[in-house]
Amino acid sequence: MANRISERFFDKGHDFDLYHKERQILSRVVKKTEFEVEKEIFRGKVYDDKKVGSILYKGSYKGRDAVLKIQGLQVDIDEIEIIRKFEAQNKSKIIHAPKIFVHKRWDKKAGYGFTISEYSTAVPIFKRPFASAAQTKEFGRFYQEYRTKAVTKDFLERPKGDTLAGSLAKVDYWRKLCENKGILKLEDYAPYLMRYYPLAAKHLPTIPITMSHNHITPEDVLRNKDGSFVLMSNLFWGHSYQYNELAMNVWHCWMAIRDTSYTYEQLLKYVKGWIAAYKRIPIVKADKDFDRKFAMQMLNRSIGTILADLGGANGYFWGKMENRKYLFHLLHLEQKLFDHFAEQLGEKR
């Protein structure tokens, strides 16, 4: 079992009470806990300013710097429970989730839950879109520790059923988002989708499913000055295909490209730089099948970018008309990247 955060954001029937009742909920929580609010530091939303899933405030709690997180979007497993399970099996001394002081489970009647955690001064491991060579190496150090020490066993229940069918259903959902929006023409995405299916059917069933943090992005891997890390977005723990995190990290980079003169050759060079850095990570180096598994995860990311991020674009950046030039620029980059990984996966055209 895992949380279905992204799915809930897209669910039309879901109530986003936090957007409408923010002040009311905040004052209730403050009264109950005596948390002192200094300022808002983060708003969890997916594409839409009015769909607010969470709001985070910096402040103090019993004289200590702290963060209050109000969780509006429904969760299946509360963050405290996930963090407890994670920490119970975590053997790393340098990777941790934030320490939670107070928590209130998500409650359907109230429409929210909350946590108060220790404030962390750690900063993103690098700034998107482009990591330096030293930063890619540092990310590799993080990944080795994460894979070998922070995750030592399955601490949430494994999903049941056919994972290939589940993956294809997700892609089909993305296709619907894309078709409903109508930004892309059929020829922009359909040929890629048709090429995706046989590759997915061939490769996905032989890629292991691993316990993983499914939001490994530079903003969620925070680094302290002493080289230790704080993991954010802990509601995203679950299972995914091996190396999905490594692909997600690269995906998060290209989603931040805002330069229409950035060429495909430059992107490919950047992506290859990441692959080279990944291949120097001991646990990756030991896997003779890394290239194939990773290429398949990158194919997933690029079909997802084409169909959902760009084709299904919504809200505050990609949904805006004035940003269409970035959208179509990235679309063309992604189509070529898709060709690259499809070829690597043995597609004959």
> 115 or 184, CB closer to ligand ATP?
115
> 71 or 305, CB closer to Mg ion?
71
Restricting to residues 268-327, name those near Mg ion by CB under 5 A: none
Q: Which of 117, 105, 91, 85 is nearest to 222 (CA)?
A: 117
Q: Given candidates 214, 233, 249, 302, which one binds Mg ion under the rule CB under 5 A?
A: 233
Alpha helix segments (H runs only) across the chain: 5-10, 17-20, 22-33, 79-89, 133-145, 163-181, 186-203, 244-254, 264-278, 282-285, 290-304, 324-344
Phi, psi for residue 107 in degrees, rounded to 5? -130, 125
117 binds, among Mg ion, ligand ATP, none (CB under 5 to 8 A by kind): ligand ATP
The residue count for binding Mg ion (CB under 5 A) is 1
> 46 or 190, CB closer to ligand ATP?
46
235 binds, among Mg ion, ligand ATP, none (CB under 5 to 8 A by kind): ligand ATP
Q: Which of 170, 138, 207 is nearest to 301 (CA)?
A: 170
200 binds, among ligand ATP, Mg ion, none (CB under 5 to 8 A by kind): none
Shortest approach of Mg ion to residue 232 CB, angstroms?
A: 6
Shortest approach of ligand ATP to residue 65 CB, angstroms?
A: 8
Torsion of CA 121, 116, 82, 315, to 10 degrees: -80
Shortest approach of ligand ATP to residue 92 CB, angstroms?
A: 18
Angle at the Cα of 92 from the Cα atoms of 206 and 140, rounded to 5 degrees: 55
229 binds, among Mg ion, ligand ATP, none (CB under 5 to 8 A by kind): none
Shortest approach of ligand ATP to residue 119 CB, angstroms?
A: 5
SS (H, E, C) 147-208: HHHHCCCCCCCCCCCCHHHHHHHHHHHHHHHHHHHCCCCHHHHHHHHHHHHHHHHHHHHHCC
Contact at 8 Å (CB) between 336 and 264? yes
Shortest approach of ligand ATP to residue 29 CB, angstroms?
A: 15
Residues that bind ligand ATP (CB under 6 A): 5, 41-42, 44, 54, 56, 67, 98, 117-120, 215, 219-220, 232-236
Question: What's at 326, amino acid-wise?
Answer: Y
> 236 or 270, CB closer to ligand ATP?
236
Take residue 179 and report the two structure tokens written for it.
């078709």
102 binds, among Mg ion, ligand ATP, none (CB under 5 to 8 A by kind): none
Stretch that binds Mg ion, among 30-38, 82-90, 231-239, 281-289 (CB under 5 A): 231-239
- Alpha-carbon distance 38 to 86, whole Å? 30
> 117 or 297, CB closer to ligand ATP?
117
**C-alpha pair distances (Å), 63 with each of 55, 67, 80:** 21, 12, 22
Q: Which residues contact 252 (CB under 8 A, 6 or more apart)?
A: 128, 217, 218, 219
25 binds, among Mg ion, ligand ATP, none (CB under 5 to 8 A by kind): none
Residue whose CB is nearest to Mg ion in the complex, by number? 233
Residues that bind Mg ion (CB under 5 A): 233
